[in-house]
Amino acid sequence: MDYLVTHSPALIVALPLLAAFAIPLISRLGPRVRAVLCLAVLGLVAALVAILAVDVHAVGIRLYTFGATAPEMALPGGYMVPVRIMFEVDGMSIFMGIVITTVAVASLIYSLQFLNGQTGQARFYSLMMLLYVGMMGLAFTGDMFNMFVFLEIASIAGTGLAAYRTNMADAVEGGFKYIVISAVSALMVLLAIGILYAQYNVLSIAALAHYMQYTTLDMMALGLLAGAFVMKLAGVPLHMWAPDTYTVAPAGTTPMILAASYTSMYALYRITFTLYGGHIDTAAIGWIVIIVGVLSMFVGVMMAVHQTDIKRMMAYHAISQGGYMLLGVGVGLAVIADPVALANYGRDAMNGGIFHIINHVFYKAMLFMTAEAIFFRVGTRDTNKMGGLARNMKWTAIFYAIGALAISGIPPFNGFASKLLIYQTVLSFNPVLSVIAMFVSLVTLASFAKVFYSAFTGPEMPGYKEVREVPKSMLIGMGILAACIILFGIFPGLIVDTIVAPATEALINQAPYINAVMGAAP
Amino acid sequence: MSALSYEAYAVWVPIVWVAALVVIGVIVLAWRNRGQKSYKKGTAQTDIFLSGIKVPPEEQRHVKAENVYWGFFEALKGFYSVLMRPHTGVVNDYILWFVALVAVAILILVLGA
């Protein structure tokens, strides 16, 4: 067991990486063998993530230094700075690990029957595994250069998946847009890393945070990093690529690409809080995050309610919901230097923002799956052409209703729990922001009610009399996420206490992250 | 452990609310079951009356998504024309926005440092 715990950070990334390259070979033995391999690998990795989560919760930060005589040894003998590739898993990293792994398992199960009869499945599953590797690596990495490497892996795999349906022109266009914005963002990240490396000769996040002098060049690097990650997380006004890409990606992969966006949000938080935290003007930067959050909430929801393409509508809602996460964490960042405000509402605001990440990924992933279930059976995403689908697609309608109520913040679903924390805490910070957040939830409900009414209710349309419910694996994929939505809604205190609060603590207090690596350094 | 606390007091106790919803649901269903049952389906008693105008067939009565909230969008036409303008769908424009935002962010950070 100790061996597994010690090596789990590396195994969680290595196993799916090996599987990604083995899948094209295994596929020659048949789709059933390939499915078993994918399920076995992700099942094993999910178990490792659970083991690692328990360890991080009980013991604290888990270091894994590649090539060291002991994985926990960050500094080689005689060295004052870390030079090896390193994973550093703290409360925030493992929180993202749980989010990404849950979505990956549900997406994989959903895709098994969704892809039946389609060509290029070996490449699809390879890319899916690579996307998982990219996201987990980004969440676990302890150095800036590997942050860039894993960002690239996730971007390239995400592009391949977005453009998977090459017979559809808009899919190729969506994939193209994703690779353009990803490449430009990654180049800016690389430039920023170059600026930091040129000054400090280190790449480790902990070492950089330890030696940071907050020079003008450092501030320029922060601007580049923030811009790049805001682009990747689709924050307004850099959100426009998201509807184009999310809409066209196959159902099993849209949730994964969505999770990749929130992994970029994680990177933004890691940079802002851990790398630069403590010595910058956190109030000003917190307000910038809040403004981006409020703009994302408002613009996203107003664009969403206007859409008639069901996936495009959901994509705009993804932008809008991302705004809540930025708002909650932004409020925490704005008051981080004020211990009284931080204790009174700042920490809880961050809890709300971080809790909303996992809640949103679950219900939005399920909503995307319901949209693609409709496309799977009806062959269109245009809600103008739909009607009466609940008669023949009862389970899909139920899952859609659960997701719609959750995203609108209706109790007792999980979206309500995180939104309530955000409303309450933001009210103490600035009541106007709280009112905007509530208004956005109202428009969200209106938007999802419109689609539910036009797609699922009403008379049976003549062209859809033969429509049937989707295959079981797709229902199981949606069911896993629906169960998470309900459980997280009924036991929010348990989730906040066990996985959200440690993530918030990891962001607020940068010292343990730095000391885990630099503890022995002068 | 189900309660969500904020500033050390519970603000949301879902199990109590779920239990309350179940009780309310049972009462509503019981009340509904006491309703009128003597009407005859498929007769004039259940036909739609539209001021004497001939009612179109069922499929044509479904309101399309683009017509839902028509008044809302009509009232906000000016707002939406402004909101739609930057959403060109051209990737070059996306990058221009990115360059502009990064420039502004760097200016704020460098001048504020």
Q: What is the pLDDT of residue A75?
A: 82
Rounded distance between C-alpha atoms, residue A114 and residue A470, angstroms: 9
Q: What is the pLDDT of residue A170?
A: 86
Mean pLDDT along residues B8-23: 82
Mean pLDDT, chain A, as a whole number?
91
CA distances from A502 to A329, A487, B8 (A): 14, 20, 17
Taking the Cβ of residue A488 and every Cβ of chain B, the question of whether any pair is shorter than 8 Å is answered with no
Q: What is the pLDDT of residue A202?
A: 93
pLDDT at A289 over 80: yes
Q: What is the pLDDT of residue B47?
A: 83
Count of other CB atoms within 10 angstroms of residue B53: 7
Taking the Cβ of residue A348 and every Cβ of chain B, the question of whether any pair is shorter than 8 Å is answered with yes
Q: What is the pLDDT of residues A210-219, one digit of tens each?
A: 999 889 999 9
CA distances from A180 to A185, A227, B90, B96 (A): 9, 15, 11, 12
Q: What is the pLDDT of residues A320-348, one digit of tens each?
A: 999 999 999 999 999 988 999 998 899 99
Q: What is the pLDDT of residue A361?
A: 92
Taking the Cβ of residue A52 and every Cβ of chain B, the question of whether any pair is shorter than 8 Å is answered with no
- Global pTM reads 0.92
Best mutation target, A220, A313, A504, to test chain B (most B CBs within 10 A): A220
Q: How confident is the model at residue B50 (pLDDT cuts 50, 70, 90)?
A: confident
pLDDT > 70: percent of chain B: 90
Rounded distance between C-alpha atoms, residue A352 and residue A272, angstroms: 18
Q: Which chain A residues are closer than 8 Å to B85 by Cβ?
A: none
Q: What is the pLDDT of residue A251?
A: 76
Shortest CB distance from A220 goes to which of B21, B101, B106? B106
Q: What is the pLDDT of residues A40-77, one digit of tens each?
A: 999 999 999 999 999 999 999 999 999 888 888 888 77
Mean pLDDT along residues A378-394: 90
Q: What is the pLDDT of residue B10?
A: 62
Taking the Cβ of residue B91 and every Cβ of chain A, the question of whether any pair is shorter than 8 Å is answered with yes
Mean pLDDT, chain B, as a whole number?
86
| B92: closest CA of chain A, how far (Å) | 9
Q: In terms of DSSP H, where are the helices of A141-250? A: 144-162, 169-200, 205-211, 216-232, 241-248
Mean pLDDT along residues A223-246: 93
A116-120, A169-173, A228-232, A403-407: least confident range: A116-120
| B31: closest CA of chain A, how far (Å) | 24
Rounded distance between C-alpha atoms, residue A242 and residue B100, angstroms: 19
A302-322: buried (b, 16+ CB within 10 Å) or exposed (e) per residue? Answer: bbbbbbbbbbbbbbbbbbbbb
Contact indicator for A180, B91 with CB cutoff of 8 Å: yes
Taking the Cβ of residue A223 and every Cβ of chain B, the question of whether any pair is shorter than 8 Å is answered with yes
pLDDT at B6 over 70: no
